[in-house]
């Protein structure tokens, strides 16, 4: 079973769950929006790095419309990120051989989440994002940056068993 980032549930508002996540290290690739970055990231964790180490797969796989880790740079590019195993720092992660793979550290933060099942098609993600933003507005919770998608299952998992989440950083 794939290890998942640990988090602490800090509250709820309707179907929205509030969570605190620790600092995590990400391997990120800009992609054209069709999950093309997956192969680059998979190559990185299976040994395409300066030490030829294999890195455990950790869920979720994160995709976003903007690259939150490089603010204030604004980009319309989508990105895909693999979360490195919990408890590891940037210094513990080998350098990628492919310069399209970036290793960054995302600081601890609080987020709001809506979970949904299915294949995370654009309309499913859009619907969850709309419910999330509407719910946060009604609860007077401020967001930081854009929303992103977290997917937890391998590609062969049937849709009704898939766990997906639309997430946005918040301040409360």
pLDDT confidence of residue 33 = 59
SS3 68: helix
Q: Does residue 76 register a pLDDT over 90?
A: no
Q: How far is CA 55 from each of CA 77, 88, 96, 102, 158, rounded to the nearest angstrom?
A: 26, 11, 12, 15, 26
Q: Look-up: residue for tokens 């929205």?
A: 16
pLDDT tens digits, one per residue of 28-62? 998 765 667 889 999 999 999 999 999 998 899 99
How high does pLDDT run on average in the chain?
A: 88
Q: What is the 3-state secondary structure (H, E, C) of 94-139?
A: CCECCCCCEEEEECCEEEEEEEECCCCCHHHHHHHHHHHHHHHHHC
pLDDT confidence of residue 112 = 98
pLDDT tens digits, one per residue of 140-151? 999 999 999 999
- What does the pLDDT average to over 122-127? 93
Sorting pLDDT into bands at 50, 70 and 90, what band is 67?
very low
pLDDT confidence of residue 1 = 57
pLDDT confidence of residue 64 = 80
Q: What is the pTM of this model?
A: 0.86
**Are both 1-22+108-172 and 23-106 of the same fold?**
no
What is 1-22+108-172's CATH number? 3.30.200
Q: What top-level class would CATH report for the domain 23-106?
A: alpha beta
Domain boundaries, the chain: 1-22+108-172, 23-106
pLDDT tens digits, one per residue of 78-110? 889 999 999 899 999 999 999 999 999 999 999
- What does the pLDDT average to over 113-137? 95
pLDDT confidence of residue 2 = 73
């Amino acid at each position: 079973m794939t290890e998942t980032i640990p988090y602490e549930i800090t509250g709820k508002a309707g179907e929205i769950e509030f969570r605190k996540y620790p600092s995590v290290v990400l391997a990120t690739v800009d992609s054209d929006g069709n999950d093309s970055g997956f192969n680059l990231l998979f190559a990185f964790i299976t040994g395409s790095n300066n030490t030829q180490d294999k890195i455990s797969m950790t869920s979720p796989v994160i995709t976003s419309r903007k690259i939150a880790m490089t603010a204030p740079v604004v980009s319309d590019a989508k990105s895909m990120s693999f979360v490195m195993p919990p408890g590891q720092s940037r210094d513990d992660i080998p350098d990628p051989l492919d310069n399209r793979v970036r290793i960054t550290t995302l600081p601890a933060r609080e987020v709001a989440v809506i979970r949904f099942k299915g294949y995370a098609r654009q309309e499913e993600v859009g619907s969850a994002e709309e419910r999330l933003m509407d719910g946060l507005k009604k609860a007077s919770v401020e967001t930081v940056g854009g929303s992103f998608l977290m997917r937890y299952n391998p590609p062969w998992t049937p849709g009704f068993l898939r766990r997906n989440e639309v997430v946005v950083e918040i301040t409360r």
